[in-house]
Amino acid sequence: MDAPARSWPPSVGDYAERQGLFRLLQNMLEELLIHKPEDPVQFMIEHLEQHNDDAPRIFILGPPASGKTTMAIQLCKHLDAIRISQETLLSKETLALTKEAKAYKERKQQIPNALWANLIRERLSNVDCIKQGWILEGFPENQEQARLLQSSGIIPRHVVVLYAADTMLIERNSGKRLDPLTEEVYHTTFDWPSDVQIQQRLVKPDVTEEEMSKQLLEYHRNFPGVFHIYHKILRSINADQPCVDVISQALTYVQTQPRSAAPFTPRILFCGPPGSGKSLQAALIAQKYGVVNICCGQLLKEAVADKTKLGELVKPYIDNGYPVPDNMVMKILERRLNAPDCMTKGWVLRGFPRDIEQAERLQKACIIPNRLLLMVEVGLVKSWVQQLRRSLMSASFQVSRKRKKKNFYF
């Protein structure tokens, strides 16, 4: 495999990296191993035609009253994904297994884990979930359910787990109110709706404090097994904080791309003020990893010394100590970074860009680094920390004043 790869043009690897071909092939291979179709080629063709590999696949987990429903609804609004929960599955009359699951519930029997897994798989195979992505709320509840989902090919990319103290969750549950029309959750103290019509149709969940304690005990007993399966893609978020902060942390996490095992050509950009150590660190990285070390200022001097056409144009600016126009710098830099050694080995660049306009020129030229290192002075960091502390103290004072009027819990 390695020998033919060395004969490929450098542009082939660059194209594969930019288009995410490694991740695409990895996803297709996973689907092949899970479904084991009789005709693998036709299966892959249908996968490319129907599936959206960039669609969100998210689990929202947590103890009762931790805000899973609120979290799932808000994330679905931001990501345009389909929300899946046990309640929505039982209300989906078009699913073949819904009647069987409802029969268990009417007899007040526990729905088997295998039936839940098959019901979820049937729902996620619908076109809307395939195209838009999905957010599964409150499931799996134990390790057996997680194993069944894995064997059914239901593998999330992100798992968000909400947590809070049991005493707070019990208190929150006592004031919890549910809107049966929109399935949104409100609270009598922390989040009461201003619309009178919504207030009139709110219902109180039929869960006593004793039942809530049992549910919390069951959750704490089962969650370690679930954590063991999803710990590599799991993010825990404290639910005992303002709702906006919880949603913001979850949204930031689910919008990050999972770490890829794909090979890539290093394109490293060093930024920082003069004297911050960019040259030394760039030289060490170039020596250790075998990448091309490029200094923009040195590159301009070499162009002048070689007496190229661009070098003749740049020479008067350098001799007189004037900054070289960005368009000239970009032509020299683009020619160097597109050279075969840079395309094959990768590069580490310093001295450019120095402002937003230059960075935009790099992007327009399709020169996009995949690693950015910012070198800053300790004194500058301390001043930033002091400014941040002052702003946080001011913000906390304003929030404390607002909380006297209204609490921001779920």
Looking at the structure of the chain, the number of domains it has is 2
pLDDT classification of 3: cutoffs 50, 70, 90: very low
Q: What is the pLDDT of residue 156?
A: 92
If pLDDT is split at 50, 70 and 90, which confidence band does 296 have?
A: confident
Phi-psi region of 404 (alpha: psi -120 to 50; beta: other; left: phi over 0): alpha
Residues 286 and 321 in one domain: yes
**Tokens (6 digits) for 139:** 């499931």
CATH of the domain at 294: 3.40.50.300
In a domain, 6, yes or no: no
CA atoms within a 13 Å half-sphere pointing along the CA-CB vector of 280? 5
Distance CA 276, CA 373 (A): 12
Cα–Cα distance, 51 to 16 (Å, whole number): 20
Higher pLDDT, 183 or 266: 266
pLDDT score, position 163 = 93
248 and 308 together in one domain: no
Mean pLDDT calculated for residue range 280-286: 89
Residue 157 neighbours by CB under 8 Å, 6+ apart: 56, 57, 58, 233, 258
More confident residue, 208 or 403: 208
* CA-closest candidate to residue 58, choices 127, 129, 112, 126: 129
Verify cis geometry, omega within 30 degrees of 0, for the bond prior to 140: yes
Q: Could you read off the pLDDT of 209-240 as tens digits, one per residue?
A: 788 889 899 999 999 999 999 998 999 999 98
Res. 407: pLDDT tops 70: no
Pair 124, 89 in one domain: yes
Q: What burial letters (b/e) apply to 218-252, b meaning 16+ CB within 10 Å?
A: ebeebbebbbebbeebbeebebbebbeebbebbee
Amino acid making up residue 285: I
CA 23 remoteness from chain centre: 15
What phi and psi values does residue 270 have, to the nearest 5 degrees? -100, 130
For residues 284 and 77, what is the distance between their CA atoms, to the nearest angstrom?
A: 46
Does 390 map to a domain? no
pLDDT at 399: 40
> Does one domain contain both 165 and 250?
yes
d(CA 61, CA 227): 10
Q: With contact defined as beta carbons under 8 Å apart, do 293 and 349 qualify? A: no
Over residues 370-394, the pLDDT tens digits come to 888 887 765 555 565 566 566 555 5
- Co-location of 354 and 207 in the same domain: no
Residues 157-186: pLDDT tens digits? Answer: 899 999 999 988 888 877 777 777 777 777
* 362 inside domain: yes
In-domain check, residue 303: yes
Cis peptide before 353 (omega within 30 of 0): yes
Percent of the chain with pLDDT over 90: 22
- The phi, psi pair for 302, rounded to 5°, reads -65, -40
In this predicted model, which residue has the larger pLDDT, 13 or 293?
293
> Whole-angstrom Cα distance, residue 359 to residue 333?
13
* Contact call for residues 178 and 185 (beta carbons, < 8 A): yes
Residue 405, pLDDT score? 40
Residue 274 has pLDDT above 90, yes or no: no
Rounded to the nearest 10°, the torsion over CA 282, 287, 288, 294 is 40
Residues 323 and 226 occupy one common structural domain:
no
Write the pLDDT tens digit of every residue in 70-122.
899 999 999 999 999 988 888 876 777 888 888 888 888 888 999 999 999 88
Distances (CA, A) of 15 to 18, 29, 124, 343, 405: 5, 20, 32, 11, 55
- Residues 114, 223 within the same domain: yes
Spell out the SS3 assignment of 115-184: HHHHHHHHHHCCHHHHHHCEEEECCCCCHHHHHHHHHCCCCCCEEEEEECCHHHHHHHHHCEEECCCCCC
Q: Are residues 201 and 289 in the same domain?
A: no
Q: Does one domain contain both 75 and 222?
A: yes
Of the three residues 203, 233, 254, the one that is the final residue of a domain is 254
Q: Is residue 395 part of a domain?
A: no
**Quick one: 250 and 271 in the same domain?**
no
pLDDT band at 254 (very low <50, low <70, confident <90, very high): very high
- The domain containing residue 232 runs over which residues? 52-254
Amino acid at 243: C
Within a domain: 402: no
Residue where a domain stops, chosen among 219, 254, 289: 254
The whole-number average pLDDT for the span 41-57 is 80
| pTM recorded for the entire structure | 0.64
Q: Tell me whether residue 165 is in a domain.
A: yes
Q: What is the pLDDT of residue 386?
A: 62
Would you list the DSSP string of 41-83?
HHHHHHHHHH--TTS-EEEEE-STTSSHHHHHHHHHHHHTPEE
Q: 3-state DSSP call for residue 396?
A: helix
Q: How far apart are CA 410 and CA 100, in angstroms?
A: 34
Rounded to 5°, the CA angle 380-381-382 comes to 90
Q: Mean pLDDT across the chain, nearest whole number? A: 81
Gap between the Cα atoms of 2 and 159, Å rounded: 36
Do residue 194 and residue 311 come from a single domain?
Answer: no
Answer positive or negative: Cα dihedral of 347, 261, 365, 335.
positive
Asked if the structure places residue 29 within a domain, the reply is no
Mean pLDDT over 39-53 rounds to 80
Higher pLDDT, 389 or 358: 358
Query: In this structure, are 169 and 274 located in the same domain?
Result: no
